[in-house]
Amino acid sequence: MVPNSGKHIAQSLIKRADPYRVLLLGVFAVAAYFCLVNLDYAALWYDEAPAAIIANNLLEQGDIIGWDGRNLVGGTNGSTLNEDLRDVLPPLMYLFNAAGISAFGFNEVGARIVPALIGIFALGLLFLLVRQQLAGYPRLVFFVFLFAAWSPQLLLYFRQSRYFAFMAFALVAVFYLYERYWQTKNVVWLVGLTLVAALSFFNHYVGGAATMLSLVAWHLIFHARETTRREWLAFFLCGLLVVGLGTAYLAFIGLIGGERSEFTQITGIAGLEYQGSEPIFLWRMWVYMRDMFTADWISWPVFLWFAGMLLLIWRWRRDQVWQARASRQVKRQAQRRGTGSPKSEVKEPAAGLPVFAASRIVLMGVLFALFSAALSVQPIWNYPVADLRYYMGALPLLLAMKGLFAEWVWRKSRVAGAATIGALLFTSVGAAPFNMIGVFTGERTLGAHFFQFIREIHRPYRDSVQVVSDYLLEHADKDDLVYVPSFNSREALTFRVGHHVRLCCVLHKNTHLPHAAVEALDAPLYIEEHTPEWIVLFDHRLEELRKGIESHYVVVEKLDVHWYQTQRPELNFRAFEPLPARHGVLVLRQKDEP
């Protein structure tokens, strides 16, 4: 007992003396602050607002429904609602938002607080995972955690009232729990893994499926041979439970077995069919992987170094096997002659650097990214960029490459290491010259995004939704009808002014929603049947619509604000400061009858 006790005390003293633990706590505290500070400085954009509205409907009506008693939200022409007006998107984000709204009210903070907290938990779990995989390398653990915790892209995703934070949490969690099971063979970890896998599907259909497929691929690569029959059965039953729950919910909500059994019909992208000659699968792989480099998720110089190190180590180990075989033959020949055998050693290319251990973390991120890209329903052939939101969960794991590169440079020179960390952490120089092009600026997104992010979250962000809502609250009368042609701007506006005005003309007569259910709402929902007092044109490209209504409406205000909601988390759509108004937002009012 004494020797063991002495060993335990020594280990405790070493841990207390570890300076990286203090630094890790500091980095984590700063990241938590960045996640939570000033969550109300930007209005909810058009993907966040419906999530908050439906979450509030859940609190008030006990159902995930798009009707709040005054207004209807449900995508283009009601595309995200089923025949019962229930939203068909994954329900977990509504539960999270409902929890936040019940505690902090129906506002931006209430909508975003729980996802932000989940993001903080995801960072804490990431530390446990990295420490698990890189045991004995405290400085490397710190570097990997630093790049993730202070990643402006990751923090931007965490500060959204959507599925993003839990997507990252789920991937890290299933990876960590799976590894814990293989370390301990305790069934408790397997139960936890199954629960998180199921929740990941109810958080995001594609992200959940990619999480489970990544874990299956991981198991087949690393542990298939050592798996017992009993374990195969247990894994099969766990997977069957997750798939069964997911399938049952999809059938209940109407996405399986009905007329709308194609996900393109709930995304509003129907009619944008792929017309290319290359296989669509290969096209997706190319576009998504390309944009991961341009977004600086995978810094291309770091990636080339990482791939080169893996290749060198693989060749070194192969040569070592061949040399060992040759050495045994030489030794046997020397023993026959009675002479000694020559000794030759070749130094390992990455002596002391845990390249393969870090590559395990990276590989799980790569698997998730590949499966997400393959399962994506976004029409990337119709847009200049890919929708990276689908696999932002891989970002914390992919950043392990940057941490390993920083460790390698640090060992060579602390000055060079500090400079490398600063460049890769605070700027997007790792993507130059292939940085993403901003959709609305036409310029490459090369910049000091970390400092831009800090500046932005510490000052109110003037955006079109805030400006328009303030105008309507001041000038529109109670229950005035307001028509906004584009569903995205209308739903973002509904969150802020839906209690004051009624956002009308949401549906066309050809909507898939049952007419009886719509008419029972007794609301001005059909565009063919109602004449609004106000029309708000966010998108200047709707000039034809304006020309067609000039005899009945007059422009009463041209709001000096850029029309698009640029507070989205993706860098290619992001603007860390308000863009020039250019065409502005037009507010039209119905002319008085003569």
Question: Of 454, 484, 503, which marks where a domain is finished?
Answer: 454
Q: Are residues 273 and 249 in the same domain?
A: yes
Q: What is the pLDDT of residue 266?
A: 59
Q: What is the pLDDT of residue 275?
A: 66
Question: Are 269 and 377 in contact, with CB atoms under 8 Å apart?
Answer: yes
Q: What is the pLDDT of residue 384?
A: 63
Q: Are residues 528 and 414 in the same domain?
A: no
Q: Are residues 97 and 208 in the same domain?
A: yes
Q: What is the pLDDT of residue 260?
A: 54
Q: Are residues 112 and 173 in the same domain?
A: yes
Question: Are 521 and 67 in contact, with CB atoms under 8 Å apart?
Answer: yes
Residue 181 lies in a domain: yes
Distances (CA, A) of 446 to 423, 437, 457, 562: 12, 9, 19, 22
Question: Of 427, 454, 481, which marks where a domain is finished?
Answer: 454
Task: Give the SS3 label for residue 488.
Answer: helix
Which of 289, 314, 284 minimizes the C-alpha distance to 300?
289
Q: What is the pLDDT of residue 301?
A: 94
Task: Give the SS3 label for residue 586.
Answer: strand
Residue 66 lies in a domain: no
Q: Are residues 424 and 473 in the same domain?
A: no
Per-residue pLDDT 10s for the chain (594 aa) are 444 555 554 455 445 546 888 999 999 999 999 999 999 999 999 999 999 999 999 999 999 999 999 999 998 899 899 999 999 999 999 999 999 999 999 999 999 999 999 999 999 999 999 999 999 899 999 999 999 999 999 999 999 999 999 999 999 999 999 999 999 999 999 999 999 999 999 999 999 999 999 999 999 999 999 999 999 999 999 999 999 999 999 999 988 876 554 555 555 555 566 666 777 778 788 888 888 888 888 899 999 999 999 998 888 888 777 777 777 776 766 666 665 555 555 567 777 899 999 999 999 999 999 999 888 877 777 776 777 888 899 999 999 999 999 999 999 999 999 999 999 999 999 999 988 888 888 888 888 999 999 999 999 888 999 999 999 999 999 999 999 998 889 999 999 999 999 999 999 999 989 999 999 998 999 999 999 999 999 987 777 777 778 788 999 999 999 999 888 898 888 888 888 888 889 999 998 765
Q: Are residues 128 and 253 in the same domain?
A: yes
Q: Are residues 98 and 182 in the same domain?
A: yes
Question: Of 454, 488, 509, which marks where a domain is finished?
Answer: 454
The span from the CA of 54 to the CA of 129, in Å, is 34
Q: What is the pLDDT of residue 10?
A: 46
Residue 413 lies in a domain: yes
Residue 326 lies in a domain: no
Residue 99 lies in a domain: yes
Q: Are residues 132 and 220 in the same domain?
A: yes
Range of the domain at 414: 15-44+88-300+355-454
Q: Are residues 554 and 469 in the same domain?
A: yes
Q: Which amino acid is at 50?
A: P
Exposure string over 553-566, b if 16+ CB within 10 A, otherwise e? beeeeebebbbbbb
The span from the CA of 421 to the CA of 217, in Å, is 32
Determine if the peptide bond prior to 569 is cis (ω within 30°): no
Q: Are residues 361 and 468 in the same domain?
A: no
Q: Are residues 493 and 382 in the same domain?
A: no
Q: What is the pLDDT of residue 13?
A: 40
The 3-class secondary structure across 299-349, one letter per residue, is: CHHHHHHHHHHHHHHHHHHHHHHHHHHHHHHHHHHHHHHCCCCCCCCCCCC
Q: What is the DSSP string of 504-523?
A: ---B-TT-SS-HHHHHTT-S
pTM of the model: 0.90
Residue 138 lies in a domain: yes
Beta strands in 354-451 (DSSP E): none
Residue 490 token pair: 């209308």
Q: Regarding beta strands 502-503 and 481-483, do their DSSP bridges make them parallel or antiparallel, or are they unpaired?
A: parallel
Q: What is the pLDDT of residue 308?
A: 93
The span from the CA of 537 to the CA of 485, in Å, is 7
Residue 377 lies in a domain: yes
Q: Are residues 28 and 155 in the same domain?
A: yes
Residue 68 lies in a domain: no
Count of domains in the chain?
2
Q: Which amino acid is at 451?
A: F
